[in-house]
C-alpha cells in the first residue's frame, strides 16, 4: 500500500474502504475477513453502510443499479 502509516491505521481500525483506497484488493480483504472470522457478505455490507441482511437482499434482487456505478466520471 502506498502510505504505510495510513494503511496500518486503516487495517488496525478495520476501515475497509480506507484499505481499498490505499491500494488494497479483494485478496487483502479476504485475509482480513479470515483473520476476523467475517464473511465477505458481512464486510461488503459494512463497506456500503448496509447490514449483512440488507446487503444480501440487495444482491439477491440483482445488486445495485448500474446508473452511476460504472466509473467515477459518470454524471447523469
Question: Which tens digits make up the pLDDT trace of 2-40?
Answer: 556 666 666 667 888 888 888 888 898 889 989 999 998
Residues 54-69 have a mean pLDDT of 83
pLDDT of residue 60: 93
- The set of cell numbers assigned to 33 is 475477513
C-alpha cell at 61: 434482487
pTM score, whole prediction: 0.62
Distance between CA atoms of residues 41 and 76, nearest Å: 29
DSSP 20-36: HHTT--HHHHHHHHHHH
Average pLDDT over residues 38-60: 91
pLDDT at 1: 46
Amino acid at each position: 500500500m502506498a502510505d504505510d502509516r495510513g494503511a496500518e491505521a486503516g487495517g488496525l481500525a478495520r476501515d475497509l474502504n480506507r484499505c481499498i483506497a490505499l491500494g488494497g484488493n479483494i485478496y487483502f480483504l479476504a485475509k482480513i475477513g479470515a483473520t476476523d472470522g467475517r464473511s465477505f457478505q458481512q464486510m461488503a455490507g459494512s463497506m456500503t453502510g448496509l447490514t449483512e441482511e440488507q446487503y444480501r437482499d440487495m444482491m439477491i434482487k440483482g445488486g445495485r443499479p448500474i446508473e452511476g456505478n460504472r466509473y467515477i466520471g459518470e454524471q447523469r
